[in-house]
Amino acid sequence: MMEARKYVWEGAIPLQIHLHESEVTTLPPPLPALILAPRIGYLPLLVPHIKPHFSSTLPPGIDTVWFDYKGLPLKWYIPTGILFDLLCAEPERPWNLTVHFRGYPGNILIPCEGEDSVKWSFINSLKEAAYIINGNCKSVMNMSQPDQVELWRSVINGNLEAYIRVSSKLKLGTVGDEYAADLYSSSLNSRQSIGDTDSTGQVKTGRVPIRLYVWSVNEDFDDLEDAPQIDSWDKISYINRPVEIHGEEGKCFTLLDAVKSLLPEYFPYKSLNNEESSREEDKDEEKVPSENLSEHVESCYSSDDAEVKLVRIQGIEPKLEIPFSWVVNNLVNPEHFLHLCVCLKLPQVKIPSDT
């Protein structure tokens, strides 16, 4: 497990950063800055490294730094790797971004005051994750100042060993290896109760904090290079929902199971794995009284379902049959959220004819 986490922490995206033409005051214009951006990092943390490259050509004024990709302002509180996975269906290397030091789009982006804002956002996400996992965020709230500083420095420096040393005190282990193995066992209990601990004292739970980025398309595509361009944040559904890991006896709870449970709007019946077997066993059970609802449920069995075109996590596209416990243990971000980028092809709406 440590090897996979090490790959995540060492992952980086080559960036080619251009200064926006409206801010170029010298001839010739400056060459783009080239930099490796950590996947688990954040774009504002790159500013101290790239500003010296452009400082001689900037117009007078106060810096309000922001980035865009093909004209789309990038949300600074989303980790850089997630932005790349979401906005580059066909990976672009180097990733060409534009940096602005003026004209902050406050109507689209929340204010950012540099590293302090990023740290504040990270700690708040950590508190949110702790609440989902443990039912409270006391462990994060009670962190000593030195531990909080060391935790943050470990993230921005990509120091996994230091991070594990500090974060282990928070007892936010989500899915233990024993539990992952038990998912294949016929002796599996239906759920792991919140608050159970393993032999190391690490808290184990079935509740996983998820940040879900859903990109919906109406037209099918075979190659990622043909996927429609995301040119507005309105085309992305940003959803925070925990997943409660469970499985039927002898059956693994997969990544596909997790995606369906996260998106009941698109998979309202098939995501209810536990109910399917009971409904099949008892066919004489009273039907749902609402005629419209029963029609809606029946449609979920047909080919009119939404189709999962792509699930991307930490730059990889795992098979949907992979055990979700493995995904959680290996691909979670430092703030203990698992970020899922999902592309869905929505079924065509059939307009009934008048005849």
State pLDDT tens for residues 311-333. 999 999 999 999 999 999 999 99
When pLDDT is averaged across residues 64-68 and rounded to a whole number, the result is: 97
Name the more confident of 159 and 293: 159
Assess contact for 89 and 227: CB atoms under 8 A. Answer: yes
Percent of the chain with pLDDT over 90: 66
Q: Report the pLDDT value the prediction gives residue 330, as an integer from 0 to 100.
A: 94
Buried (b) or exposed (e) across 25-57, using 16+ Cβ within 10 A? eeeeeeebbebebbbbbbbbbbbeebeebbeee
Question: Average of pLDDT values for 177-189?
Answer: 39
Q: What is the pLDDT of residues 261-313, one digit of tens each?
A: 999 988 875 434 444 444 444 444 333 333 333 333 233 323 367 899 999 99
The pTM (predicted TM-score) of the whole model is 0.82
Q: State residue 101's pLDDT score.
A: 97
Neighbours of 116 (CB within 10 A): 10
Q: How far is CA 313 from CA 40, 136, 212, 258, 341, in A?
A: 12, 27, 10, 13, 6
When pLDDT is averaged across residues 143-161 and rounded to a whole number, the result is: 97
